[in-house]
Structure 1
Amino acid sequence: MKFNYIWKNKQSTSEIDIISNPSNKELLLTFEQHFSQPIKLSATDFKTNRQVMIDLNNIEAIEASGHFTKIFLVDGTELLLNKILKELAYLESFRLVRINNSMILNLNQIHSFASGSHARLEVITKQQHKYIVSRHYAKSIKEKLI
């Protein structure tokens, strides 16, 4: 099977066009099912020391904590992940973006934002938690929110 790629700047980043022969329909439906499944992370609940599978939509924020990261869920639960923030850069395509050197925030959980001091951005989540976006990340966060 041969793959041909055509890159279009006007194409939405959340869409992929596939043109194929009708005989490949079964294969393409399998691909679609695989890619449309929600992405989950495996983290450790440090109170019970059990592995938990979490849906990315349930994450409010992820904070660096040495060689580990703390995951804060929308229900207030805190989990531990055995990765550093740099290893979680792929989550940006799922609207979990870096807001400063030690924090990743779920853009889907933002309720409001306002300009802060020193060109920073203050973000309030739906759970009424306040986060500070550093001036280095503020412009890209504003573009993604508006």
Structure 2
Amino acid sequence: MGIRLNPTNQHLKNRLTDCLANTASIEVINPKNNRRSFLDCSQILVIEAMAHLSKVTTINHETFYTQGPLKQFEALKNTTLIRINNGTIINLALIISFNNGKYARLEVQTKTRAFIVSRHYAKQLKEKMSNDQRLKK
């Protein structure tokens, strides 16, 4: 069983198969027109907690909202999203550097912003970074 298409539309089958198989995405709400769409997790820079919504900022500096707490985004597998404190999830692939901040806190630097990592999540971040480095070797 499979998808049968006219040979001229074969490229559509390939695109659809790739989209369904490889990427994790989340449903977001565009605040300008209140439309819902799906956003690929690789396009996300940061997810920040708000009252009953979460604010999603993309690498293109676009802002979206999504329903639900940050805990539901921790369950996304095969993504580079990692929680760094109680209110923030960041894309691990977009981290440029680490700094020791004020009062011995760990700071994560991206191209545009710096984020403070809590002690609890710093340990998890270091473990994930070391696991990713082992996989690359």
Could you report, residue by residue, the CA deviation over 1:85-133 in whole angstroms, capped at 9, with x for unpaired residues? 12222126412111000110110110111122334211111x3211111
Percent of counterpart pairs with the same letter? 37
- Who is 1:58 aligned against? 43
Determine which structure has more spread, i.e. the larger CA radius of gyration: 1
CA distance in 2, matches of 1:57, 1:107: 10
Is 1:138 aligned with 2:89? no
CA distance in 2, matches of 1:87, 1:106: 15
Aligned residue type for 1:101? N
CA RMSD of aligned residues (A): 2.0
Task: Using structure 2 for the length normalisation, give the TM-score.
Answer: 0.74
CA drift of 1:37 comes to 2.4
> Structure 2: where are the runs of 5+ without partners?
1-16, 131-137
- Who is 1:116 aligned against? 101
CA distance in 1, matches of 2:77, 2:106: 19
- Who is 1:29 aligned against? none
Is 1:48 aligned with 2:47? no
> Structure 1: where are the runs of 5+ without partners?
1-31
- Who is 1:101 aligned against? 86
- Who is 1:17 aligned against? none
Aligned residues: 114
